[in-house]
Structure 1
C-alpha cells in the first residue's frame, strides 16, 4: 500500500510539473530574444512587451514568426535609439530571414555567430557605431540577398569569402574605415564603386583605384615558391662568402641607381611643377582670380585641365537646367564625365556665404545623393562639379519616353522610392546641420545604369541649424509639389519636404505629373484627384496603365504612406526616417529577396 501511494504521489508530482506554468513558458526562440534584449540599452522602453511570461514572442514589437512552428522569421527594430551591442545569441535563431537594426546607436563588433543564421536573407546594420572587421563567416550565408553595413566604424579588409554570396543583389559597405584591396572574386566583382564609397583606404578594380606601394610600384611582388627552392641545403663557407659579397655589391649598385633615379625624378618634378604653374597662371583672367576647390580629394585631374574644360563649355554641352542655372556635360581627356552646373548670376549670394554652404555640401557622401565633386569660380561665373548620372531623371522615364520605349516596372518604381527616401532621410537626420531640400520632384531624382536613384539639385537647399531656424520667407520649388503651409508662409521645414516626397510617391504610382491637365481642369491637384478616386472606389484608375505587374497589396501600402505624407496638417505627417521605415517594412518585408527577383527593370 505504501509503495502504491508513493507511486501515485510521484505521478501526481510529475503531472503537476508538466502542467505547471513553467511548462507553458516561453519558446526557445523567445528566450534567445530576451538574451538579445539584455545586451541592448532600451532607453525608450520600446521592448516593454518582450516578457518572459508570454508563451510565444510572435506578438512582440518588431518580431514576426513562421505561422506553423512559431519560430522567429524576422527582427525589424530600426530607429529605436538602442545603445549596447549585438548579442552573440543571435546565432541561435537558426530560422531568421531578416535582421534590421539600422539607425540605432549600437557599438561593439558584428558577432561571428550571425553565420549560424543560415536562412538569413536581409541584413540591415547601417548607421550605427559598429567596430572591428566584417566577419568572414558571413560568406557562408548562402541565401543572403541584401547586406547594408554602411555608415559604421568598421575597419580592416573586406573578406574574400563574401564573393561566395551568389544570391547577393544589394551590397552597401560605404562610409566606413575599410582598407586594402577589394577582392575581385565571385559576386564581389559585380558591384561598383557606390557599394564602397567613403572608404578612402580601399583600392581595387571596383573603385577604379589601383593598389600600389608607397613607392608607386604594384603591391604584389614576386616571391619564391618555397624556402627549400630558394636556398640550397649545403654550401661551403667560401661559396657563402662569395654570395654575401656579391649580394652586398648588388645592393650597393642598386642603391646608387636608386639615388640617381630619385635625383632625376626630383628635377623633372620641379620642371613639371613650374610648367603646370605657368599653364594655370595663363588661365587666370585679369578681372579676378580663378578659384578651384575639390572635395573628398577624388577628382584625379590637374587643376589646369579642369579649368580648361570648364572654360570651354558651350551650348553644345548643355544637357538641361536646374534650380540655379544651366547644366552641362563635361568630358575629360580620358573620357571621364561630369555634370557642371553654372550658377545664374542673378541668384548669387556673397562669396563667403556661398562657399560656406558648399563646404558643408561637399562633406556629404551618400549612395542615394548626387556627389558634389568640386567648385570653381571663374571671372564670369560660378560652377559646381557633380558626378554625371547617365540615365537621366525619373521625370524623363515617367513622362518623356515614347510608347516605343519600355516603361518602368513596379519593382523598379519601388526601388526608386526606397532609394530616394534614403537620400532625403540622410539630409534630414544624418547631416549636421540638417538640410531641407525644398525642391523634391521627379526631375531631381537622377537614375544610374542600374536605375539606382540619386537625389540631386541642392541649389535651393538651405541649412537648418536648429528647429527654430527658418530657412527663408521666399517660396522656392515647383508648383504641384509644394505643401499648403509652405505656399502660405514661405517657411520650409523637413515636413514640407515630406509633403513633396508624398507627391513623388503618387507620381510613381499614377504615372501622372502633379499638374496633369486631367485633374487640374477640375480644380484639383494630384492629392485631391487621388482622394476623389479612392472615395469612388476606382482603384483601377489610380495605377499607371503601363505598369501591368503592380500588385494591389503593395500599391495600397504605398498609397497609404503617400496619404500620410500629404496630410494637410504638417504635425500629422511622419518624419522622413519614419517614411523610410514604413517603406522598408511594408514594401520589402517579410521576404526582401522577392523585391529583387526580376531580371529586368522594365516591363
Structure 2
C-alpha cells in the first residue's frame, strides 16, 4: 500500500511540474535579460520565472499557442547588449527596443526571426554593421535603426525585401554610396538616410519608388546632379537634399505632376542656374528651403501661385532683380527670408497682404525706397530685418502698434525722421537696432515699458535730447549702444538688478558725473563713455564691476585720482582714461589687472614716477603714459614688457637720466615716443629695436651717433629727431641725406690731428695701385669683350622660378654641389651656355643664424662680378639707387597681382606699396582665392577688383568670404569682425596711396578685432 501511495505522489508531482514550468519563449526572454546591465524595476517585478508563460509579462504579447509574437520594451532605459538568444523567438512579429541604452552589434541571430514584420532599434547606442542575415526577414515591413552608431554600407538586400515600406537609417555613421538597386524598393513609402556619411551620386533608379512619400537624404556627402527621375515620385510629400555637394541645375520639379509635394529642402548645395518656374505648379507646397545653394537669376513670379506656402527661404544666394509682387498672393506665408542676395528695386507693397507673416528678412541686398506702410500694418509681424540696404524714408507711427513685434533691425540704411515716441508701450520688443541711419529727435521714453528689451542699438544717428531714465531701470537690457549721436544731459541712474553686459555712450555731449549706481551692473564686461563732457571723479562704485574687461573714459573732463577699488576689476584687459584731468599716482593695487593688454593714461596730470610694477602686466602690448608729469627716470623693469609691440609712449613727462639698456629687449615694439623729456646719454641701446616703424626722440639731450639700424626712420620722419643737437649720424652714401635734421658725425678728427702711420700710408698706396690696375683691366675688357647680357631678358621671377624647379627636378638632391651653414647650393644647367649656381636659404627663427646669413648676403651683394648675381634687397619696397640704374633697365618690381597700381608706371616704391600687397594677402585669406586667374573673376579683373565690385553692389560679405566659413558667420559678432577685417583689406588696396592706412594702423585694427572676438565670445 505504501509503495502504491508513493507512486501516485510521484505521478502527481510530475503532472504539477508539467503544468507550472515556464515555456521556451519565457526562458529565452529571461536569458536575454542576463545581457542587460540595467533592468528597470517594472520588468523585474513583471518577468516572473515561476509563470508558465511570459504572455502576461510587461511588453510581451502572445498568440493562442502561448508563443511570443510581440515584444515592446521601448523607453525603459535598459542598458546592455541584445543577446543572440533573440533568434530563438521564432514566432516574433514585432520587436521594439527603441529609446533605451542598448549597445554592441545587432546579433546575426536576429535573422532567424523570419516572421518579423516590424523591427525598431532606434535611439540606442548600437554599433557595427547591419548583419547580412537580415536578408532572411522577407516579411519585414518596417525597419528603423535611426539615432545609433551603425557603420558600414547600406546593404543592397534591404531593397529586395518585397514588403518593406519604411526604412529609417538616419543619424548613424553609414558610409559608401546609396545602393544602385534602390529603385527595386517599389513598396517603400518612407526612406530616411539623412545625417550619415554617404557619398557618391543619387541613383536615377530612385524614381522607380513610385509609392515614396518621404525622402530624406540631407546632411551627407552626396555629389553630382539631382536626377530628373525625381519628377516620377508622384506620391511624394517631403523631399530633403540639403547639406550635400550636389551641383548642376535643379530638375524642373512640377513639370509633370507634384500635387502632393508639401516640403522641399535643397539648401547648402552648389547648384547652378536659377529656381525653376515650374515649381509654381506644385500647388500643395507649404515649405521651400533653398538657402545657400548658389542659385542665381530672378525669383520666379510663379511662386505667387503657392497659396498654401508658409515658409519661403531663399537667403544667401545670388538672386537678382526685383522681389516679385506676386509673392503677396501667398496668403499663408509666415516666414519670408530673401536676405543675402543681390535683389534691387523697391519692396513691393503687395507684401502687406501677407496677413499671417511673422518673420520678414530682406537684409544684405540692394533695395531702395522706403518700407511700404502696408507692411507696418501686418499685426502678426514678429521680426523685421532689412539692414544693409539703401532704404530711406521715415518710420511711420504704425510701428508702435505692432504688438507682437520682437525684433526690429533697420541698421546701415538711410532712414530719417523721428522714431515714434510711443514705441514700446504696446509692443513686445526684445531687440531693436536702428544704428547707422539718419534718425533725429529724442529717444522714445518707453522702449522698455514691457520689461522684455534685451538689446537696444541706436548708434551713429543724429538723436538728441537726454537719455531716458527708463534706460537705467530696464532690468532685462543686456546690450545698450547710444554712441555717435548728439545726446546731452546726465547719465541715468541704474537699477540694483541691472543686467547690462555691454554699454557704449561714446561720442555724445553727455555731461554731469558718472553715477555710482553704474556699479550695480555687475555683469558689465564693456563700458565706453569716451568723447563726452563728463566731469567729477571716477566713482569707487565701479570697483563692483568684477566682470569688467574694457573701460574707456577718455576725452572727458574727469579729475581726481584713480579709485583703489578698481583693483577689484581683475578681468580688466583694456583701460583708457586718456585726455582728462586725472591726477595722483598710478595705484600699486591695480597690479591685480594681470590680463591687461592696453593701458592709456595720456594727457592727464599723473605724478609719482612711472610705476616699476608695470612689468607684471606680461600681456601688455600697448602703453601710453605721455603728456603727464610722472618725472623721474625710465624704470629698468619696463624692459620686462616683452609682449609690448604696438606702442610705448612716455613723451612729455619730465623724465631724466639715460635710457635703460633693458629697453632694448622690447624687440617686438613698433612705435616708441620718448620726446619732450630731459633724457641724456647715448641711444645705442635702441639699436636692437629692429621692429620699429616709428620713433620720436625729439627735444631731449641725447648725444652721440644714431644707430645705423635706425637711420631709415630718420629719412621717413626727420621731425622726430628735432631738438637733439648732440645727436649725429654716421654718413655713408647709402644712408646719408642732405635733408637730414642731424649733423654728420665727425669721426675722423682724431686721425687728422695725429697724422697717418707709415703702415697706413703703405697700405693706402698698395690699395690705390691695386685699384688702378683693376680699373685698367676693366677698361680693356669693356673695349675688347661684349657687354653683359641679361640672363633672361624681361623674364618674370615666377616664370624663372618654375624653370629652375623644372631643371632641378624640384631641387632634387642629385643637383646639389655643396652645403654651407646658411643653405644648400645647387647646379642649374639651362643649356650648354647657361649654367648657374643657386643657393636655397633656410628661414629659421634663429637670431644668430639670421644675422650671419644677412651678413653673407650683404657681402655677396657688394661683390661685382659678371658671373655673380648682385643681391640688392629682400623686400618689395627697395631704396633704389637711381644713379646706378637707368629707367630702361628696370622692369616693374614685385609680383603681378600684388603690385600697387602706382608701381605699374613707376619704380619708386613706398611703404604704401607694401600696405597694398598686405591688403591683397588679407583678401586671399578671407576669400580663399588666388589673386589672379580664378574662374569666378570677370575677364580683366584680379582678386582686388572682384571683391571691390561685389562689395560696392552688396555692401555685404556674403559671396566674398570663403564658403567654408558660412556656418561660423551665423554668429553676428564674428560676422561683424570678419566684415571689419574685409574693410581694412579694401582700405589697404585703395588705388590712391594716400587713402591707405599705415601698417601701424593695420596692426592696431587687427589687434582690436581679435580682442573684440575674444570678449564677445564671453558675453
TM-score normalised by the chain length of structure 2: 0.26
Larger Rg: 2
Structure with the bigger RCO (C-alpha within 8 Å, sep 6+) is 1
Greater per-residue strand proportion: 2
